[in-house]
Structure 1
Amino acid sequence: MKKQITVLFLLITTFTFAQIDKMEPPFWYEGMSKSEVQVLFYGKNIAKNTVSVSNNVVITNVAKTENPNYIFVTIETKNVSAQSLKFTFKNGKKSFVKDFEIKKRRENSANRKSFDTSDVMYLLMPDRFANGNDSNDSSPNLQEKANRSLPGGRHGGDIEGIIKNLDYIQELGATAIWSTPLCEDNDKDYSYHTYGQSDVYQIDARYGTNEDYKRLAAEMHKRDMKLIMDYVTNHWGAEHWMFKDMPTYDWFHQFPGYAQSNYRMSTQFDSNASKRDAKYCMDGWFVPSMPDLNQSNPLVLNYLIQNAIWWIEYADLDGFRVDTYSYNDKDSIAKWTKAIIDEYPFFNIVAEVWMHDQAQISYWQKNSPIGKIQSYNSFCPSVMDFTLHDAFGNVFNENNAGWNEGVIKFYDNFTNDFLYANPSNLLVFLENHDTGRFNEIYKNDFKTYQLGMTLLATTRGIPQIYYGSEIGMAGDKGKGDADIRQDFPGGWKGDSNNAFSSLGRTSVQKQYFDFSKKLLNWRKNKEVIHTGKLTHYIPENNVYVYFRHNDTESVMIILNNSLGHQKVNLNRFQENIKNYTSGSDILSSKTIDLKEELSIEGKTSLILELK
């Protein structure tokens, strides 16, 4: 009889234990400055239990919501060393235990070095970069299956494909990788971009495993490269398990249900904006398949903070790029950002602020003189320089100088740097995964590519390049996003052209790659480019001249955007040329005397290390 009772008790315990379907975070770390951790437990009627924890660990709060399938238990870990804790759940005479591990933290984790102006960031879309493991192209647990013949389908690129081609990225001269999101996206179709995430603690099985992501970071660190996670705070996907069974009605913004964002980010700081317009910008959904997260709900905000910190610790990350930053509740996203920077003082975060005015972009950077007007500080160290991107998109088709045409647009862009708290910490780019392809805009004109890349690599800020442009890849955004997100040639077995290999590149791909490699590897060791002052001169005849200089070194950059030869009067630049007598062009390896006049071919750039 006693045995029967014991067996019955074990059956009850096992059955009750099945109440826990999710525990997030799945573990935590010792020695965090954010010492309180709120553990979410999810399961059928889990909230009907009382909770305790072992080893004299203090529970500081237990939060229950209108949904009995959730319970949020906050514990204090300040003096808790690495160990396994036990949460005991009790409902009447029934009880069960769930283990929760406190792991040892990496040494000096809080002071990790992040990406900065010494880096060149390589943006790739994992599904379209390389398929290193074709056994995970589809997953039985995820709806969309691999179909490479479908432009907007899953093509099979994965983390293993990135790892296998790290040598290629390193040879190119890039020092950091920004990959579009890798967490699970279980949408029925168009899930390849992975911005509609369905589980933010789990790498999408079609990309690999959490361990694979951790291994990617480790392999990059062996090469002194940095891994930047694309983090999405504004929305999840409609297939997210928490959207299907919401912890609270206001976990997502409700109107009730769906309402479209008006995309007018200026309402966030417009003193004349109506409350309705501001609400529909912040709270409206980006698209119907992406429910908008309500960061002003403390449970939501804390969940997002902990998730971000967990990934930094778990995968040993080197930075974040935050998607649709300016669509978030601005006070809540500032709290999210500050919490991460408080934990990691040297961690860099770059915000996507897709606006077309320097003052409006500046508003979102940490310590912005514009934000200060409204007593607002986002605490976000870096923002994306979309106004420079706008100039890149049309300057090189404006062959004749005008008051507002040609390279004067570059000059005018940089004249507004006084609006930024830190113009050196802007992400500068020709293009990205959402914009028109630079090589498509300019019809694969190699000289134009050289002009664009020269400016990108030598101006202030952190350069970001988009995968494939370095081999001449193009794509027409007018045909849809899939056309600007094509597969990298050679990333799949059976590809007729392998551009990852020097021997496999076509003559055109080799021309693009060799130029890019030379330029970016030169930049890698040039502190004067990383941190030197930028001094520029008003363009004449569609020729733009600027200098990067410090106390010991000076580099003169000349961009001739006109179609024909131009004579450049060097007397104009005497305050920077000083006593230098010649310049070594890093592109052609020629030495140029710095006499009164310099001749430069049409649609040509020079990068002169002054001697």
Structure 2
Amino acid sequence: MKKIIFFLLLTTYSFAQVDRMEPPFWWSDMNYSDVQIMFYGKNIAQNEISVSNGIVIKGIQKTENPNYVFVTIDTKNIPTQDFVFTFKNKNKSFTQQYSIKSRRENSRNRKSFDSSDLIYLIMSDRFANGNTNNDNTKETIEKVNRSNKDGRHGGDIEGIIKNLDYIKELGATAIWPTPLCEDNDERGSYHTYGQSDVYKIDSRFGTNEDYLRLSAELHKRGMKNIMDYVTNHWGYNHWMMKDLPTYEWIHQFPGYAQTNYRMASQFDVNASKKDSNLCMDGWFVKSMPDLNQSNPLVLNYLTQNAIWWIEYADLDGFRVDTYSYNDKTAIAKWTKSITDEYPNFNIVGEVWMYDQAQMAYWQKDSKIGAIQSYNSNLPSVMDFTLQEAIHNGAFNEDKQEWRNGIVKVYENFNNDFLYPNINNLLVFFENHDTNRINHIYNNDFKKYQMALTLIATVRGIPQVYYGSEIGMAGDKGLGDGDIRRDFPGGWTGDKNNAFLKSERTAEQEKFHAFTSKLFNWRKNKTVIHTGKTTHYIPENNVYVYFRYNEKESVMVIVNNNPEKQVFKTNRFSENIKNFKTGIDVLTSVTMDLKNDISIDGKSVLILELK
């Protein structure tokens, strides 16, 4: 009995010496086999470190902070097992168990999102409150206050899970929830881009196990889970900020300096070093310390964390926040490490620029980047120039001029030759950082139809923002909270539950029915997913383009003119070829392609050619 009591006391004492261990475990048969484990505890670096079971320690790295030690072990060819680290200082010692787990079958070759998908973007705190018990938790500072548009409202993982069938029925095949890891800021923490613990789901959203369950529920439905990952910065309440591993873990000037947001300075041959460095190294905002990815310890930490989440939560892709603000050499290494581990894994980076050449620079294997011997290794970027054309009122411009009207949209695709992979661009007309499309166009259903038809039928991966499919609007001029409103029906007591057809208003159902019909049609249309494009210079504010492959052809007509337009089809003979009829996807009406085509003002036709 005395021996058992002594063992329990020793075990309790041992685990108290390691306050944090990250990553908390790893897997066998990983390409990334040299795992650098960060141990954190009071004066832990003063110990000698050994490990059991013949595991090889390849390196021990200490910093000026004795509370950290980074131990690299070789896990190559190590089978699934538990083993023990021993920390010894003079006559005292303690131990810490570590585990190598089995990977899922064929984990390395997991399928990711691509142009066959529709991504549904969710503001996680504002979508649905599925579990009111986690609205407020002891370990987090900010509490739920639904009356504060910039506060916590209580949306959570359970709310997403409960409404997955709604999302699937809409035609979406993947979800992108805004970050779910802990953000423990005193206020404004709901958006979770200022994370305080990147190995832990925010307890107001749920648990790590809940996040794993979200992936499982998605996969049951044939859907995909895309994690919103942040490499550029953490929150100022991140637990490390109270005791940094090293002064150079974050960029310091000393202390704070804000980025100049001039991303073009990263490749501008005329830029001063001071300007380009401030873009990369400056803090995004004062509450978000900028991570120093050029420090190998930081880069390795972020790389392992990303791979850990993919493997642990069975993820299907990443959206990377503020990608082009990172140290561009380091972020290219980070990206390559992930795609080396998972060759089919897709990553879309937020490169918020309004110039196709500048955006194309950031896509993998870009010829523009190659001019400067740079390859980001980033598979996908976001088509912000298309978003800009739609946001700048293209559909409000009834008269076509040289640069106005639907020509704005047409000109976006003139520069597709700049991109290495046009099918892997994310196409969208809004997201959680922009004005809502239904605000810009005053909930004009016809203009919504035109905008949605575009992103559903052009090259790339379409993304829609939660609630637009029921006509939700929001004015960024009133603050970010207004473009991130609660989804009606996501909270008990909501007067209108738009998740249910029986409870939608007539206006909500009109938007929803169109969205659902369009994207459910798109699901199985390979010609839209990967077909080629031929478009024609707009005339009278009418834009016509074809998506085609060897088997199929789809003719899309967007009439941005408020008046009915009638035009002859012989202008499009190179694409119509021997096709005789076109069946409108939206109405099932058959049109004879030998006759003139008539289209109502401010409307669309999507014709499957037969």
TM-score (norm 2): 0.99
The match for 1:110 is 108
Q: What amino acid sits opposite 1:530 in the alignment?
A: H
Q: Report the more deviating stretch, 13-22 or 489-498.
A: 13-22
Whether the aligned pair in 2 keeps the contact of 1:13 and 1:95 (CA below 8 Å) is no
Could you tell me which residue of structure 2 aligns to residue 420 of structure 1?
419
Instruction: Tell me the residue number matched to 1:378.
Output: 376
Question: Where does residue 458 of structure 2 map in the other structure?
Answer: 459
Q: Which aligned pairs between 1:342-421 and structure 2 lie closer than 5 A?
A: 342-393=340-391, 394-421=393-420
Q: Would you say 1:554 and 2:550 are equivalent positions?
A: no
CA distance in 1, matches of 2:367, 2:454: 27
Quote the offset at 1:17 in angstroms: 3.7
8 Å contact kept, 2:10–2:94: no
Residue aligning to 2:607: 608
Aligned positions of 1:110-259 closer than 5 A: 110-259=108-257
Provide the aligned length of Structure 1 versus Structure 2.
Answer: 609
SS in 1 for 2:557: strand
Structure 1 residues 303 and 377: alpha-carbon distance in aligned structure 2, compared to 1, 3 A threshold: same
Q: What SS class does the counterpart of residue 218 from structure 2 fall into?
A: helix
- What residue number does 1:445 align with? 444
Give ranges in structure 2 of 5+ residues lacking alignment: none
2:513 alignment counterpart = 514
1:142-171 CA distances to partner (integer Å, 9 max, x unpaired)?
000011111111000000000000000000
SS in 2 for 1:205: coil
Three-state SS of the structure 2 residue aligned to 1:321 is: strand
CA distance in 2, matches of 1:34, 1:151: 43
Distance 2:368 2:541 in 1: 32
Written as runs of structure 1 = structure 2, the 5 A alignment for 1:21-60 is 21-60=19-58
Q: 1:457 is paired with a residue of what secondary structure? A: helix
AA aligned to 1:61 is: G
Q: Write the letter of the residue equivalent to 1:524.
A: K
Aligned ranges 1:272-311 → 2 under 5 Å: 272-311=270-309
Aligned to 1:523: 522
**Secondary structure, in 3 states, of the residue corresponding to 1:178?**
strand
What CA deviation, in whole Å up to 9, does each residue of 1:101-139 have, x standing for no partner? 100001110000000000000000110000000000011
Amino acid at match of 1:587: L
1:331-342 alignment, distance < 5 Å: 331-342=329-340
By how many angstroms is 1:6 displaced?
9.7
CA contact (8 A) 2:13 2:94 kept: no
Q: Residues 562-577 of structure 1 correspond to what in structure 2 (within 5 A)? A: 562-577=561-576
Report deviation, 1:85. 1.1
- The corresponding residue for 1:431 is 430
Report the counterpart of residue 328 of structure 2 in structure 1: 330
Deviations 1:19-59 (A, max 9, x none): 21100001000000111101110010010111111110100
**SS of the counterpart of 1:110?**
helix
Code of the aligned partner of 2:94:
F
* Shift, 1:7, TM fit: 7.0
- Counterpart CA distance in 2 for 1:348 and 1:256 is 37
Q: 3-state SS of the aligned residue for 1:401?
A: coil
State the shift of 1:18 in Å. 1.3
Tell me how far 1:481 sits from its aligned partner: 0.2
**C-alpha distance in 2, partners of 1:208/1:488?**
19
Q: Is the 8 A contact 2:390 2:429 kept in 1?
A: yes
CA distance in structure 1 between the aligned counterparts of 2:142 and 2:15, rounded to whole angstroms: 32
Alignment correspondent of 2:482 = 483
Q: Contact 1:448–1:603 at 8 Å: present in 2 too?
A: yes
Cα drift, residue 306 of structure 1 = 0.2
Measure, in 1, the Cα distance between the counterparts of 2:131 and 2:60. Answer: 43
Secondary structure of the residue aligned to 2:456 is helix
Alpha-carbon distance between aligned partners in 2 of 1:288 and 1:155, rounded to the nearest angstrom: 24
Contact kept in structure 2, 1:19 and 1:45, CA below 8 Å: no
- Identical-residue share of aligned pairs (%): 70
Q: CA–CA distance in 2 between the matches of 1:6 and 1:545?
A: 80
Corresponding residue number in structure 2 for 1:588: 587
Using the size of structure 1 for normalisation, the TM-score is: 0.98
Please say if 1:598 is aligned against 2:558: no
For residue 119 of structure 1, give the secondary structure of its aligned residue in structure 2. coil
Measure the CA separation in 2 of the matches of 1:8 and 1:163: 46
- C-alpha distance in 2 between matches for 1:591 and 1:389: 32
Q: Specify the alignment match of 2:74 in structure 1.
A: 76
Larger displacement relative to structure 2 (230-239 or 592-601): 592-601
CA RMSD, 1 decimal: 1.3
Cα pair 2:351 2:382 within 8 Å, conserved: yes
Pairing 1:100–2:98 present = yes
Letter in 1 for 2:115: T
Q: Which ranges of structure 1 fall in alignment gaps of 5 or more residues?
A: none
Is the 8 Å Cα contact of residues 17 and 94 (structure 2) preserved in structure 1?
no
Does 593-602 or 75-84 show the bigger shift?
Answer: 593-602
Give, in angstroms, the shift of residue 528 of structure 1: 0.5
**CA displacement at 1:403 relative to structure 2:** 0.5
Q: Is the 8 A contact 2:229 2:318 kept in 1?
A: yes
The alignment partner of 1:18 has SS state of helix
Q: Which letter maps to 2:386?
A: L
* Contact 2:14-2:95 at 8 Å conserved across structures: no
